[in-house]
Amino acid sequence: SQQGEEDPQALSIQEGENATMNCSYKTSINNLQWYRQNSGRGLVHLILIRSNEREKHSGRLRVTLDTSKKSSSLLITASRAADTASYFCATDFNKFYFGSGTKLNVKP
Amino acid sequence: DGGITQSPKYLFRKEGQNVTLSCEQNLNHDAMYWYRQDPGQGLRLIYYSQIVNDFQKGDIAEGYSVSREKKESFPLTVTSAQKNPTAFYLCATSGQGGHFSNQPQHFGDGTRLSIL
């Protein structure tokens, strides 16, 4: 399977702390995307990083990509209770493949 | 407002019944997708369409059918052949370049299907 796999499956932190989620995949990719899903809702696109990029920032989000290790990480700095959601990475190789997600709980 | 509208939000299917999930978009996007999400799982691709009157099977198309008669609409029918239809169904679109290009996907808020 070329599916991205997130790690950890669940993460619980206090408000204000940083949250780091990892994604590993198996084959070459054109780009990797991160999405957020609030409970019972659709996914919301957060950030796209191309295979020739190593790091990308968007507000409190920082994404890194290591194509040699076939892995990516999503860092959320100064987390807020509103960041509580599931986070998915999606890789593309002919088709889009979503991992099973990291469930983040930010306690106020 | 621009966006993707999925209806209904909740749907119940009786044994042997076909049901149709609606997905409408006003984003003027070429590509549309249907995904299935089971509890605690990622998304699995059912069908996708890059252009009107054309669609392709995804990874789990058996027991499902779609049509793409208009750019704005991509309805999904869950047939009686789908023996385990209980899941959360998500419709998505992507813009110019479509089909798994380097464009983000935009999602509706899903339809939750259950068996009676």
pLDDT tens digits, residue range A50-94?
A: 999 999 999 999 999 999 999 999 999 999 999 999 999 998 766
Residue-wise DSSP of A41-59: S-EEEEEEEETT-SEEEET
In chain A, which residue's Cα lies nearest the Cα of B105? A45
pLDDT tens-digit series, residues B2-28: 699 999 999 998 888 999 999 999 999
Beta-carbon separation of A42 and B4 below 8 A: yes
Between chains, do A50 and B45 touch, taking CB under 8 Å as contact? Answer: no
Alpha-carbon separation of residue A76 from A69, A82, A105, B64, B105 (angstroms): 21, 12, 12, 38, 21
Nearest CA to CA, how far is A98 from chain B (Å)?
6
pLDDT in tens, A14-37: 999 999 999 999 888 888 999 999
Which residues of A are less than 8 Å from B9 in CB distance?
Answer: none
